[in-house]
């Protein structure tokens, strides 16, 4: 089995260079961040307005989210010790965590946020055209004879399908681009 095989690899990896201490550093930080977030949201829930007198007989709006925040907080407390609890699976988590993120991931993330940020201004059609042309270029595709026909045909079909067939309103943006 792949999973068994992975598990075996993981066990081997864990045996070779697993953390020796009681707590795992990165997971301790992760747990602290989660607990801090839960604390913050718990505090936010304290500011919910009081429901009316009659409605107050129901379960109050903050009760359920607070129960969840406490549950998440308690589970987060276990994270620093997880390498000792889940010896089989934990090395796989560490492997994923240790893999370098890479500049291309950050550039893709940043570009996506910029594109969404300017999306309303440039309009829906231009947003998807930029996504179809920009991402291949960002990821190192230099065959313009591939990108240009792909972007033209693919975005054309998608735009037609949503704008005309499914009657979705497309924001025209400053350039006034619209199919309708």
Partner 1 sequence: MELMLTGFGMVADPAIIGVILLGVIIGVLVGALPGLSSPMAIALLIPFTISMTPIAAIAMLAGLYCAGTFGGSITAILINAPGAPPAAATALDGYPMAKRGEAGRALGLATISSVTGGILSLLILLLAAPLLARIAITFTSAEYFALALFALSMLASISGKSSIRNLIAGFVGVFLSTIGIHLTTGVERFTFGVNELYDGLPFVPVLIGLFAVAELLRQARVGETVFERVRANVMKLPSRGDIRRIKYTVLRSSGLGTFIGILPAEGATVAAIMGYNEARRWSDRKEEFGTGIPEGIAGPEAANNAATGGAMVPTLALGIPGSVSTALILGAMVMHGLKPGPYLLENQPQFLYAIFAAMLIANLAFMAIGIAGAKLFSQLTLIPRTILWPSVLVFAIIGSYAHSSSFFDIWVMAIAGIVGYFMLRFGFGPAPLIMGLVLGPIVEENFSKAMIIHDNSILSMMERPLVLLFFGLTILSLAGPVRSAIKARRNKKVLLATKEGE
Residue with smaller CB distance to partner 1, 23 or 45 = 45
Please report, as residue ranges, which positions from 143 to 162 form the binding site for partner 1 (by CB under 8 A): 146, 150, 154-155, 158, 161-162
The contact mask relative to partner 1 for 32-61 (x = CB under 8 A, - = no) is --x------x--xx--xx-xx--xxxxxxx
- What stretch of H or E contains 105? helix 103-122
Cα 29 to Cα 76: distance, rounded to the nearest angstrom: 10
For residue 53, the minimal CB distance to partner 1 (Å) is 11
Query: Does residue 15 touch partner 1 according to CB under 8 A?
Result: yes
Query: Does residue 128 touch partner 1 according to CB under 8 A?
Result: yes
- Residue 23 in tokens: 């707590």
Cα 83 to Cα 81: distance, rounded to the nearest angstrom: 6
Q: What is the CA radius of gyration of the chain?
A: 25
For residue 16, the minimal CB distance to partner 1 (Å) is 10
Q: Which residue in the set 19, 136, 156, 172 belongs to the binding site for partner 1 (CB under 8 A)?
A: 136
- Residue 56 in tokens: 């107050």
Q: How many residues does the chain have?
A: 180
């Amino acid at each position: 089995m792949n999973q068994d095989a992975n598990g075996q690899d993981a066990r081997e990896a864990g045996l070779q260079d697993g953390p020796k201490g009681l707590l795992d550093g990165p997971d301790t930080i992760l747990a602290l961040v989660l607990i801090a977030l839960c604390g913050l949201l718990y505090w936010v829930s304290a500011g919910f307005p009081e429901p009316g007198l009659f409605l107050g007989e129901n379960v109050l709006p903050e009760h359920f989210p607070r129960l969840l925040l406490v549950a998440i907080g308690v589970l987060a407390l276990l994270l620093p010790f997880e390498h000792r609890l889940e010896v089989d699976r934990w090395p796989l988590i560490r492997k994923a965590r240790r893999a370098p993120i890479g500049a291309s991931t950050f550039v893709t993330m940043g570009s996506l946020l910029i594109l969404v940020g300017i999306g309303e201004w440039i309009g829906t059609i231009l947003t998807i055209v930029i996504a179809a042309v920009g991402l291949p270029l960002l990821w190192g595709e230099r065959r313009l004879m591939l990108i240009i026909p792909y972007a033209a045909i693919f975005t054309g079909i998608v735009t037609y399908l949503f704008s005309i067939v499914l009657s979705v309103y497309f924001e025209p943006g400053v350039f006034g681009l619209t199919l309708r």
